[in-house]
Amino acid sequence: MLENCWNQKYHLEIFGCQMNFHDAEKTAGILEKMGFTKADTAEEADVILLITCCVRENAENRLYGHLGNLKPLKQKNPELIIGVGGCMAQLPSVREKIAEYHPHIDLLFGAFNLHQLPDLIMRIRETGSRILEVPGDGEIQEDLPVTRESSFRAWVTVIYGCNNFCTYCIVPYVRGREKSRRPEKILAEVRRLAAEGIKEVTLLGQNVNSYGLDFPAAERTDFADLLGLINQVEGITRIRFQTSHPKDLSDKLIRQMAEAEKVCEHLHLPLQAGSDKILRMMNRKYTRDDYLRLVDKLRTRIPDLALTTDLIVGFPGEEEADFQDTLEMVEKVGFDAAFTFAYSPRVGTQAAKMENQVPEEEKMDRLYRLIEVVNKQAKAANQRLEGKVETILVEGPSPKRKEIFCGRTRGNKLVLFTPPSSGPDLIGTEIKVKIKKGLTYTLQGEVVDREVF
Ligand code: SF4
């Protein structure tokens, strides 16, 4: 089967979160194992696969627009295979629309049949028929080939799916229930990565804090235990993870974060809203006081912790007083950064059916007011680092200005600096920089110790 694809090219388009980017790395790995090579543009590809995200409603409309743009390529080259993967492909409504209105799409696939891609592609080649059935659930497939984007940091999925059913979120419906990977499989992968020169691993899951809860109690490795195991892997110098649901952030995990020296001093802890009424309607299962208590515990154990969050404004029923509660929480906690969203209803979720949807104009007004407060805090947090020396993992030239390099602190802050003449040699190494200036989104630094680690 493999030789059939020599000299053929693939093109991937990726939307959404880190889980999708990591799925794309696996997809690329599988295609390359089949003999495909990466195309420079969609025009020269023999297979085009889209890894989609369904978290936001307008993502679906954007997908259809995008599929329309690919039609001329298929008309020009009828042999071209176009496939749609990721969360969106697992939504029945999307499947129906693609089946009916987008005949140039040959293939739908999901997270649970990534490993079948070679077979699916070859079947389409041989029969010319479309394959639009996607399994909604299945076994975790281990040892898939992965073509990683970076030579010094890597994503490692530790848990799939989500059991939480936040009322605004479609993920549990498309990604299924929580399934943890076996700890020995994860450890083996991390050891392999370390042997290949990877320094930083980011452990991924919709809710990593519930890792292991699906194992029998007697043989349970929970997320805190897993961090402890990965902390011992030689060669790995930094461990990150996301995302953490506040209701599952245990004292044991906080202790482990403080004690395991490779676990970075950064936590992304989505608050979503500061009003208890809205948190209840979102089915988040914690209150503002619970969240504040967690922040207190975290900062007591890890004083340098950088804390980031997600915030939604304009959830159905949110009144000005609820929004003020969110602003007040943001002021109280003092986040280092926040992803802010105006609520957008997602068909298939409970919140989309709720009454009292907030008018668009009101949502946008609240969003702008929130961003102003968040940005002020982010800048203040970054300014507090001025004069300090931070260890950064050098990523390479900044995407916008090639003569400037960038790297990340353990707190996950992006530092821009002028590289010494040995600049390229520093990529993937840890160096020390003195923070000269803290801006809203970045820090400006100066190299003080070029000694690589
Ligand atoms: S925890 Fe809530 S927001 Fe996160 S994936 Fe699960 S249902 Fe969605």
How far is the centre of ligand 1, averaged over its atoms, from the C-alpha of 396 (Å)?
A: 33
How far is the centre of ligand 1, averaged over its atoms, from the C-alpha of 32 (Å)?
A: 32
Domain parsing of the chain, residue ranges: 2-127, 150-264, 268-384, 389-449
Going through 229-321 in order, the beta strands assigned E by DSSP cover: 238-242, 266-268, 306-313
Check whether 54 is labelled as a binding-site residue. no
Cβ atoms within 10 A of the Cβ of 71, count? 14
Q: What is the DSSP letter of 6?
A: T
- The matching CATH number, chosen from 3.30.70.1890, 3.40.50.300, 3.40.50.410, 3.40.50.2300, for 2-127 is 3.40.50.2300
Check whether 166 is labelled as a binding-site residue. yes
- The matching CATH number, chosen from 3.90.1070, 2.40.50, 1.20.120, 1.10.150, for 389-449 is 2.40.50
Token pair of 139 as six digits: 């076994």
One pLDDT digit (tens) per residue for the chain, 453 residues: 444 666 899 999 988 778 888 889 999 999 999 999 999 999 999 999 999 887 666 777 788 888 999 999 999 999 999 999 988 888 888 889 999 999 999 999 987 788 899 999 999 998 989 998 877 667 788 888 899 989 999 999 999 999 999 999 988 988 889 999 999 999 999 999 999 999 999 999 999 999 999 999 988 999 999 999 999 999 999 999 999 999 999 999 999 999 999 999 999 999 999 999 999 999 999 999 999 999 999 999 999 999 999 999 999 999 999 999 999 999 999 999 999 999 999 888 999 999 999 999 999 999 999 999 999 999 999 999 999 999 999 999 988 888 899 999 999 999 999 998 766 789 999 999 999 999 999 999 999 976 555
Round to whole Å and give the CA distance between 344 and 169: 10
The pLDDT assigned to 402 comes to 83
The pLDDT assigned to 296 comes to 98
269 within ligand 1 shell (Cβ under 6 A) = no
Cβ atoms within 10 A of the Cβ of 420, count? 12
Which residues are CB-contacts of 374 (< 8 A; sequence separation ≥ 6)? 311, 330, 335, 337, 338, 340
Check whether 87 is labelled as a binding-site residue. yes
Sign of CA dihedral 97, 100, 106, 111: positive
242 within ligand 1 shell (Cβ under 6 A) = no
DSSP assignments along 429-450, one per residue: -EEEEEEEEE-SSEEEEEEEE-
409 within ligand 1 shell (Cβ under 6 A) = no
Round to whole Å and give the CA distance between 315 and 312: 7
349 within ligand 1 shell (Cβ under 6 A) = no
CATH 3.30.750.200 fits 268-384, yes or no: yes
Token pair of 420 as six digits: 């010494």
The pLDDT assigned to 1 comes to 47
Neighbouring-strand partners of residue 49? 12, 83
The pLDDT assigned to 2 comes to 46
208 within ligand 1 shell (Cβ under 6 A) = no
Same fold, 150-264 and 268-384: yes
206 within ligand 1 shell (Cβ under 6 A) = yes
How far is the centre of ligand 1, averaged over its atoms, from the C-alpha of 390 (Å)?
A: 33
The pLDDT assigned to 354 comes to 96
Round to whole Å and give the CA distance between 229 and 447: 33
The pLDDT assigned to 403 comes to 87
Specify the CATH class of 150-264 in words.
alpha beta
How far is the centre of ligand 1, averaged over its atoms, from the C-alpha of 163 (Å)?
A: 8
Measured by CA distance, the residue closest to atom 4 of ligand 1 is 206
